Structure 1
Amino acid sequence: MSAVADSRRVAYDTIRAVHESDAYANLLLPTLIGRAGLATADAALATELTYGTLRRQGTYDAVIAIAADRDVAEIDPAVLDALRLGVHQLLSTRVASHAAVNESVELARSAGSRGAAGFTNAVLRRVSRDTPGDWMTRIAAGARSDDEKLGLLFSHPVWVVRAFRRALAAEGRADELEALLTADNAAPRVTMVALPGIAEVPEDARRTPFSPFGFRLSGGDPEAVIRGSEGRTRVQDEGSQLAALALSRALPVRPGERWLDLCAGPGGKTALLAAEALAHGATLEANEISPSRAGLVRRALEGVPLEVPVSEEDGRERAGEAPDTYDRILVDAPCTGLGALRRRPEARWRKSPGDVPELTELQRDLLNAAVGALRPGGVVAYVTCSPHLAETAGVVAEVRREWGAALEELSARDVLIAISDADPDLPVPNDGSGRAQLWPHRHNTDAMSISLLRRV
């Protein structure tokens, strides 16, 4: 088998695991690349094929349904994944048509379904006869609404398109919807952080515009930089950096403050908070309910010379056991993850509108518990990697109503503006709140929502 064929096999096996056993592509793919012994260029091809196919799955399914003259639900799942991979190569890469078709036919043949090879060959040859533009026109013509058309063309579930539209409209920026959907389908650039006080940004690196500790390498292997720094430099989205810094920079730090990261896994924000706590004479505790993710938090903290105890409790109980205790608490709440679809493309197909009510109830409970664990004058940063208004503005508004005059909102926008070198372009939401919403298309970050609440 050629190296290119190996790359396709790795991509196919990853996609199959994502659909068959709910695997996470970002965790499984590096393992399969290592197991296959792929060289750098072949690993890059496997990565592009995997993420590109998963990102554009909705669009490709619409193309396949027309070319196969049947609903994709009627196609054997293993064959369907071979078709998706083939359509991606035909419509979105420079791979030669004959290679894309032949290799996909072999993948379908290996799935073992009767007639799979012939069926796959016929469908992909039908797809290859028309241009990508022709196929986009064809699938758009079958849409029943503008949102459905956008969902098909930009490969997002319709409910996500609508949630994004409402979130952008809350800033008076509804006309940016297509730019956001386009950004969601682009591979994110690798962003890194040099933990403040214990690491330096490399001289030849390009600094990010908003986080004072963020940078992008001009070249080379990020893993080599991470290893060389003993974990004090690591990969971290700039939005994630800003979420942690919004809490540590919200107010001047008094020596001896106690901080808590309530939902700490996998630990990137925890490590940055630990470095900030170390620099300002504060202490930090962390909590993560999942034992495996708690292990990741401990691992993330290994590069910071500060002792940070990590508990493994339900965050609601952990905060509830410590009333009036902490000066700063980060609630990086479990959410739909709609803000990180560039990074975890399969998430858009795994979530549904039915997930939102259960998540918002948990988010309210966590934030309420965190407020109760604050000392008077203490600040909580409520963060979600989602712009969905129910998970962001809705949760904060409900908690503020419950606490009344005992809780005030600080301007997260002003804090981020003070941190940043460049203007972060954070319009005031139409509810007049202090919430800061980051966006992939505007800030080149995950779509992080950040609110700062102070107990008074």
Structure 2
Amino acid sequence: MVAFEVLRAVRVADAYTNLVLPALLRKHQLSGRDAGFATELAAGTLRRRATYDAVLAACIDRPLRKVEVKVLDALRLGTHQLLAMRVPQHAALSTTVDLVRSEVGPGAAGFANAVLRKVSRQDLDAWLAEIAPDRDTDPLAHDALVHSHPVWVVEALGEALDAVGAADEVGALLTADNVAPSVTLVARPGRSSRDDLPGEPTPFSPYGVVLASGDPGQVRAVADGVAGVQDEGSQLVAVALAEAALEGRDEEWLDLCAGPGGKSALLAGLAAGRGAGLLAVEKAPHRSALVARALAGADGVRGVVTADGTRPPLVAGTFDRVLVDAPCTGLGALRRRPESRWRRSPQDLEVLVDLQQRLLASALDLVRPGGVVLYATCSPVLAETRDVVAQALATRGDVELLDLAPQHAQVPDCAGPLPGTVQLWPHRHGTDAMFLALLRRTGEPDRD
């Protein structure tokens, strides 16, 4: 029922799995192994939706669009249990059929039983051999069905890999997108240390640990707000800005797109350790409130401003370090946001790229000459990474691109699509596919 309600919330209310699931687990009082099962059932079903729909289409004598949506959601849940989880066939069938009976009716339950019995006649590999397009003839369609990504996403990720000389790693990346990520915690400097947290130290960030199991909310440091849940790639973004070489003073830091506050909290601790302060800006009021909550009790916080980062009420040329963690397609975080791949479209890129260009331009105006801007996206798509940075470099005579490689010597195979940039990958580094570019303001802009 929890997994079914997650799918319904995603479908009806455009909910995010990672936000709606905890509330449903509490509502149904699930914890431990039951919570883990419900999480995998919901997230795994959403990740593999395209694959399962192709299997179901082969088992149903009508187009899927003519199947009642509640029944289709249940069939997807049953298919995930049958083809990707260690659930006995009889249990997967009976629980799914019972769910359909209670939510829709006996006639729909009989239909679900018949369909799932057809699904259960062979394993996933056999189904893929039967229904997947030939890879030699149509590699995009093949990879899209086998790895359950939209065709345009497969193409965009392939182009991003090709730009760093790794075109042959498309399958590995798509496979990694379908593996549930481990929970990674971050210590917030000045308030906690990595030694205070359970789990194995992260290989690249000096502030993180990978939690072996359990609810991160039950970790005392997380519950107290002195540590948080944060992907290692996001930690490296904050660290990259903090460790960048700077000319002159180092007192005023700015997070221009701060919501929901994880990077701000790490930056605030790093800033306070040097006697600097962090100002956070976030446009959406509800996300601004999340930033304020993440920063509550932290030293080195100048405040949280609810404002549009493209035209914030701030004085130009006053900040020493600026982070632009720009809104993006999120195609680098498909492991943890399984529904994102089905929500985004190529048309979204035009709007997002325009916003990213304006945010980066705003950041470059706000930083002082000699100061640095770290531009980051949770997407490897070239339009959002290479092209945005290249546009700023081409249109401004007061900006130079700095080399991030020396700061990331401990991270193998992370060269980005522009010299000096960094691109992290789920299949190589076990992180979200974060892109990082460091720019220095060299002087006053040419307004001609």
Structure 2-normalised TM-score?
0.94
After TM superposition, the structure 1 = structure 2 runs for residues 204-219 of structure 1, keeping only pairs within 5 Å, are: 205-217=199-211
Give the SS at the match of 2:436: strand
Which structure has more helix as a fraction of its residues?
Answer: 1
Residue 415 (structure 1) shift: 2.1
Cα RMSD (Å): 1.8
Q: 1:58 aligns with which of 37, 47, 50?
A: 50
Pairing 1:274–2:262 present:
no
Looking at structure 1, the residues matched to 151 and 297 of structure 2 have their Cα atoms a distance apart, in angstroms, of 43
Counterpart position of 1:103: 95
Q: Distance in 1 between matches of 2:11 and 2:37?
A: 20
SS in 2 for 1:172: coil
- The offset of 1:69, in angstroms, is 2.9
Aligned residue for 2:299, secondary structure, equals: coil
The answer for unaligned runs of 5 or more in structure 2 is: 443-448
Q: Is the 8 A contact 2:275 2:300 kept in 1?
A: no
Equivalent positions of 1:417-428 (< 5 A) are 417=409, 422-427=410-415
Kindly state the Cα deviation for residue 303 of structure 1 after the two structures are TM-superposed.
4.3
For residue 259 of structure 1, give the secondary structure of its aligned residue in structure 2: strand
- 1:38-437 → structure 2 map (5 Å cutoff): 38-112=30-104, 115-141=107-133, 145-202=138-195, 205-217=199-211, 221-227=215-221, 230-252=224-246, 257-318=251-312, 321-404=314-397, 406-417=398-409, 422-427=410-415, 429=417, 432-437=418-423
Displacement of 1:61: 0.6
Is the 2:259–2:282 Cα contact (8 Å) retained in structure 1?
yes
1:135-189 per-position Cα deviation (integer Å, ceiling 9, x unaligned): 1111214787111110100011111111110000111011111111111100101
Letter in 1 for 2:390: A
Superposed displacement of residue 218, structure 1: 5.0
Q: Return the offset for 1:194.
A: 1.2
- Residue 74 of structure 2: SS of its match in structure 1? helix
Q: For residues 83 and 218 of structure 2, what CA distance do their matches in structure 1 show?
A: 35
Matched residue SS, 1:161: helix
Among candidates 424, 429, 447, match of residue 443 of structure 1: 429
Contact persistence 2:250–2:320 (CA under 8 A): no
Q: What SS does structure 1 have at the residue aligned with 2:258?
A: coil
Gaps of 5+ in 1: 1-8
Measured in 1, the distance between the counterparts of 2:117 and 2:181 equals: 32
1:336-359 CA distances to partner (integer Å, 9 max, x unpaired)?
A: 000110000000000011100110
Distance 1:106 1:114, change over 3 A: closer
Residue identity (%): 52
TM-score by length of 1: 0.92
Point out the more displaced range, 165-174 or 198-207: 198-207
8 Å Cα contact 1:255-1:281 kept in structure 2: no
AA of the residue aligned to 2:284:
S
Change (3 A) 1:102 1:219: closer
* 3-state secondary structure, aligned to 1:315: coil
Shift of 1:281: 1.3
> Aligned pair in 2 of structure 1 residues 70, 141: CA closer, same or farther (>3 Å)?
farther
CA pair 229-351 structure 1, distance change in 2 beyond 3 A: closer
Q: Distance in 2 between matches of 1:81 and 1:241?
A: 36
Opposite residue 350 of structure 2, the aligned amino acid is P
Aligned length, in residue pairs? 440
| Closer/same/farther in 2, CA of residues 32 and 228 from structure 1, 3 Å limit | closer
- Measure how far apart 1:114 and its partner are: 7.7
Deviation at 1:75, TM superposition (A): 1.3
Could you tell which deviates more after superposition, 326-335 or 64-73? 64-73
- Residue 112 of structure 1 deviates from its aligned partner by 2.3
- Using the TM superposition, name which of 248-257 and 173-182 deviates more: 248-257
Displacement, 1:373?
A: 1.1
